[in-house]
Amino acid sequence: MTTDQPLRDDQLDRYARHIVLKEVGGAGQQALLAGTVAVIGAGGIGSPVIQYLAAAGIGRLRVIDDDVVALSNLQRQTLFTTRDVGATKVAMAANAVQRLNPDVRFEPVPERADVVNAPRLLEGVDVVIDGSDNFATRLTVADAALRARVPLVSAAVGQFEGMLGVFRGWEADKPCYRCLVGHDPDRPEVSCADQGVIGALTGVLGSLAALEAIRAIVPFGDDPAGTLLMIDALAFRFRTLELPKDPGCRCAD
């Protein structure tokens, strides 16, 4: 739908708790229904992202994941059930979204994002959320988002720690993802299978990432770009760090 279409009676009821927020209102809900979000990864972070964005009425969800559901996923990937083991994640996610909210158009993409397909995967999106489980994919998605000038919400977890950032590196005073991590992709991959992760923390990061995608479409409150949210579940601590633009980074060109 376009933002000039009036909300139906059932939508006024479904999204009533958004509409009564002065920061969102009817116009904001219409913008969400007209919005498109790409989600990289339908795993521990992607599960709550998909659920909350579908519930929020994001008009189109493009979910990119080439994996199948494994029994070991179910400790944290709440989108899936035991009966889904062995099925493709995007197919099961599509079923879940259809049950949750028929307003949402779900685009399953059973692929892994790479340098070849990333530009296509981000075509026509308002914001991309990266909850992927490897560093190479994160760099690829970040570079594609920067080139396409698509806001990037990046969320990551490991053991009892999490990180969330919003990146719009094409803006003069805002850092890109490489301002944070540098340009060297040659680093050892450490997966949650190797180091473990507390399941509920992926839900926290995914919910926060969904919130920032909504904020990117319907701006409210403070702009999070240029800051980094760090979560330490062992110490029961949230910290926000300033992330400056790296003058030597290629996004500054």
Catalytic residues: 192
Nearest alpha carbon to residue 226 among 246, 205, 206, 249: 246
- Which residue in the block uniquely carries the two structure tokens 């990937």? 77
Nearest alpha carbon to residue 64 among 104, 7, 9, 110: 110
- CA–CA distance from 45 to each of 55, 165, 202, 210 (Å)? 16, 14, 5, 10
Rounded CA separation 61/107 (Å): 6
Strands (E), 30-178: 36-40, 60-64, 105-109, 127-130, 152-158, 161-167
